[in-house]
């Protein structure tokens, strides 16, 4: 059984313009996924955001679905949800490592993703982490995405007018 510790939780970010997130879930363990989804939806709505939800077959497909949505849609951020419980084979390691690595790589490219794919040893650990009244990792993943979106908006606005400008840009702006 997981031992609950007290952790500092950042204040919820505020947005002056609407935010829309895509929740991508692998509902392999449906009851666990449903709790994660409930936590994510509640956190997004508490921040004044809206969400869409899609389901994919497993945790390995979550990053691919996010990449497709990023190329073909208009979301500000993403919440990755699912659960991988250790089994008898090394497939667990592959799913955990590859899904996490793909999500991290997309994050390093600038996507705002909260990773809520649980990687646990057993079902009771997953149940505690997914429970909205306990560890609420679905809500935590949504909060992570929201915080990254707030940073992206803050720093994205600051970049305007900063840095080297090629001469052709200056000519177009009438400054040469």
Tokens of 5: 């510790």
Catalytic, 91? Answer yes
Q: Give the count of beta carbons closer than 10 Å to the beta carbon of residue 124.
A: 11
Measured between alpha carbons, how far is 19 from 36 in angstroms, rounded to an integer? 20
- DSSP state letter for 90: T
Task: Report how far residue 116's alpha carbon sits from residue 56's, in angstroms, rounded to the nearest whole number.
Answer: 14
Count of Cβ atoms closer than 10 Å to residue 133 Cβ? 7
CA 10 to chain centre: 16
Residue 163, Ramachandran bin (φ over 0: left; ψ between -120 and 50: alpha; else beta): left
Which of 52, 57, 58, 91 is catalytic? The answer is 91
Rounded to 5 degrees, φ, ψ at 110 are 110, 0
Asked if 128 contacts 1 with a C-beta cutoff of 8 angstroms, the reply is yes
Cite the active site residues: 91
């Amino acid at each position: 059984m997981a031992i609950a510790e007290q952790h500092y939780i950042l204040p919820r970010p505020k947005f002056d313009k609407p935010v829309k997130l895509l929740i991508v879930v692998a509902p392999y363990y449906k009851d666990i996924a449903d709790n994660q989804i409930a936590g994510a939806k509640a956190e997004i709505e508490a921040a004044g955001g809206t969400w869409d939800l899609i389901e994919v077959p497993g945790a390995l497909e979550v990053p691919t679905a996010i990449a497709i949505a990023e190329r073909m849609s208009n979301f500000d951020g993403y919440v990755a949800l699912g659960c991988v419980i250790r089994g008898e084979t090394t497939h667990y390691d592959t799913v955990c490592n590859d899904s996490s690595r793909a999500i991290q790589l997309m994050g390093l490219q600038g996507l705002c993703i909260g990773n809520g794919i649980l990687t646990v040893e057993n079902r009771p650990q997953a149940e505690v982490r997914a429970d909205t009244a306990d560890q609420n990792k679905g809500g935590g993943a949504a909060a992570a995405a929201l915080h990254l979106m707030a940073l992206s908006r803050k720093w994205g606005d600051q970049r305007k007018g900063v840095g080297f400008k090629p001469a052709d840009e200056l000519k177009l702006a009438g400054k040469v």
